[in-house]
């Protein structure tokens, strides 16, 4: 991997409703504002809502890559804030558990498109389902979003545990949503204390996102926060500048050109030798 290849960042959460997609779309907007060409992939397959949050009108989704052999450029929607979106498809049960061939189709397509982008963001589903583990482990950088709620903290730890022990992901960026500076630090220290005790991982605290009426208003109005939205807009810009300024993780073979090779290897380790031989032939 080198810095000329697209950076690939996944955004995940152990629990739904903690603001994971809110983080993804605003991170995409800030990266675009910095001059990067960005593709945001809605990988919450079956319950996708990036397009809803952005108020986008879409004519297709990842499903069309699989069922109709559609071209990626025909499915991508450009957001007025300067980045591209690949919709994930909502209410489509068969997308919730992709098989090996479907995973290969998606990642091969994205690998080919990588030359057109500086940054690929993957907004995964919540929880520890197969699709979540697959996309998060394929990324160069894994971001975990949580809130101070005890159930969110517990589920975030579970996600980190499974990714580290089953998918060889050992470095995570952490964002605490719906909190203030003090409670954000307290929540992170609780997560860090348990992770240090039981897991072989490194947690990088990026910062907190305050709970503010302007956030709810923006979501309801299907728009992104701007610098004019109280103090939250500028705060988000600083937060995501911090995230994007972190050095790339060269300890992992991240980047689109390695997506399929690493993901296939992880999958083959979990299936019988006879089936693995057939899948790789």
Q: By CB neighbour count within 10 A (0-12 exposed, 13-18 middle, 19+ buried), where does 89 fall?
A: buried
Within 10 A of 50 (CB to CB), how many other CB atoms are there? Answer: 26
The CATH number of 7-280 is which of 3.90.1330.10, 2.60.40.10, 3.40.50.300, 3.40.50.720? 3.40.50.300
- Reported as a single tens digit per residue, the pLDDT across 223-249 is 999 877 778 999 999 999 999 999 988
Beta strands 77-78 and 84-86: pairing type? antiparallel
- Reported as a single tens digit per residue, the pLDDT across 77-120 is 999 999 999 988 765 666 677 887 887 788 777 777 777 899 99
Residue ranges in the chain whose pLDDT is less than 50: 1, 254-257, 260-264, 267-268, 271-281
pTM above 0.85, yes or no: yes
Domain boundaries, the chain: 7-280
- Rounded to an integer, what distance in angstroms lies between the CA atom of residue 141 and that of residue 249? 7
Q: What is the dihedral of CA 218, 221, 224, 228, to 10 degrees?
A: -60
Helix (H) / strand (E) element for 174: namely strand 171-177
Compute φ and ψ for 174, nearest 5 degrees: -120, 130
């Amino acid at each position: 991997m080198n810095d000329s290849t697209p950076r690939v960042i996944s955004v995940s959460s152990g629990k739904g409703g903690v603001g994971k997609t809110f983080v993804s779309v605003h991170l995409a907007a800030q990266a675009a504002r910095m001059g990067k060409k960005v593709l945001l992939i809605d990988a919450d397959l079956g319950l996708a809502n990036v397009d809803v949050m952005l108020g986008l009108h879409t004519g297709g989704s990842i499903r069309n890559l699989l069922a109709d052999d559609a071209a990626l450029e025909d499915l991508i929607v450009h957001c007025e804030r300067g980045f591209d979106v690949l919709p994930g498809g909502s209410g489509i049960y068969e997308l919730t558990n992709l098989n090996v061939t479907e995973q290969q189709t998606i990642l091969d397509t994205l690998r080919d498109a990588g030359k057109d982008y500086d940054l690929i963001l993957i907004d995964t589903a919540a929880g520890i389902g197969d699709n979540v583990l697959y996309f998060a482990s394929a990324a160069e950088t894994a971001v975990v979003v949580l809130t101070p709620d005890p159930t969110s903290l517990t589920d975030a730890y579970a996600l980190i545990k499974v990714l580290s022990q089953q998918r060889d992901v050992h470095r995570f960026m952490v964002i605490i949503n719906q909190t203030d500076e003090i409670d954000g630090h307290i929540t992170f220290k609780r997560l860090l204390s348990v992770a240090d005790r039981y897991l072989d991982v490194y947690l990088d605290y990026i910062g907190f996102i305050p709970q503010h009426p302007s956030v709810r208003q923006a979501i309801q109005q299907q728009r992104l926060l701007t610098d004019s939205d109280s103090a939250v807009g500028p705060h988000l810009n600083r937060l995501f500048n911090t995230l994007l300024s972190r050095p790339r993780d060269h300890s992992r073979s991240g980047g689109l050109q390695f997506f399929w090779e690493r993901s296939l290897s992880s999958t083959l380790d979990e299936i019988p030798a006879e089936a693995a031989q057939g899948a790789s032939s």
